[in-house]
Amino acid sequence: MTPMLHYAPGACSLAAHIALLEAGADFELRLVKFAENQQHSPQYRELNPLSRVPVLVTDRGPLTENLAILAWVAQTWPKSKLAPIDDPWGLAQVESFNSFVASSVHVAFSHLFRPGRWVDSEPAQKATAAKAPDMLRALFDIVETKLAAGPFVHGKQFTTSDPYLCVMSRWLFRTGVSDATRHPRVRAHATLIQERPATLAALAAEGLTAN
Ligand SMILES: N[C@@H](CCC(=O)N[C@@H](CS)C(=O)NCC(=O)O)C(=O)O
């Protein structure tokens, strides 16, 4: 079967969307309407009990979590060289960075966007969201250093880390949490990735533009 990516516009699923296009994969898109709470529907929860995008439905079943989807895409379409799958150290570098994005950067954004996930009372939610920008700026300071070699996250070779970071950078700049003065390399990287045909196609398919 043709893999089907369940996504929400501009959400973290955009990373998987771009990676699939970079890989030259044949796949279908299925919009999950957050405004209608479709992620909580019984049908969707069968695909992902956590009620989140992305889910990539494959002929072997649904695959959840960006980390796993990005790794699966890189290994299923090896010619696209989205990860150095024959080099244990190089592959570990990609997995290390992607894990950092998933477990630290994305989670810090969740404190900003969805503080109610973490605490109940309104004052506590306000305090949680208020703390997030400092956390995010500190995390992107690490990314800024990492991008010194450039132009991509891991140097000269584009990998799955690039669209994954780009999605987070779009959120960083869109929310005004940072800018090109504090994070010039992150800003340049986000622009570079959003100029690539695969990213432009993914943005257009999701009804978005580069930022
Ligand atoms: N660890 C998951 C996180 C997925 C996630 O948080 N997705 C968000 C969009 S960026 C979502 O579906 N949110 C829906 C909700 O919270 O109701 C991954 O990396 O795939």
pLDDT at position 170: 98
pLDDT in tens, 20-72: 999 999 999 999 999 999 999 999 999 999 999 999 999 999 999 999 999 99
d(CA 74, CA 25): 11
Cα distances (angstroms) measured from residue 174 to each of 41, 63, 106, 178, 198:
29, 29, 15, 9, 21
Give the tokens for residue 90: 């190089």
pLDDT digits (tens, 9 = 90+) for 145-190: 999 999 999 999 999 999 999 999 999 999 999 999 999 999 999 9
Q: Which position has the token pair 């649904």? A: 62
**Is the overall model pTM greater than 0.95, yes or no?**
yes
| 118 confidence band (pLDDT: 50, 70, 90) | very high
Mean pLDDT rounded to a whole number for the chain: 98
* Closest ligand 1 atom, residue 52 Cα: 12
The dihedral through the CA atoms of 150, 17, 84, 63 has a sign that is positive
Using a 6 Å cutoff on CB, does residue 95 contact ligand 1? no
Mutation test residue for ligand 1: of 47, 53, 110, 168, the one with most atoms within 8 Å of CB? 53
Nearest atom of ligand 1 to the alpha carbon of 109: 10
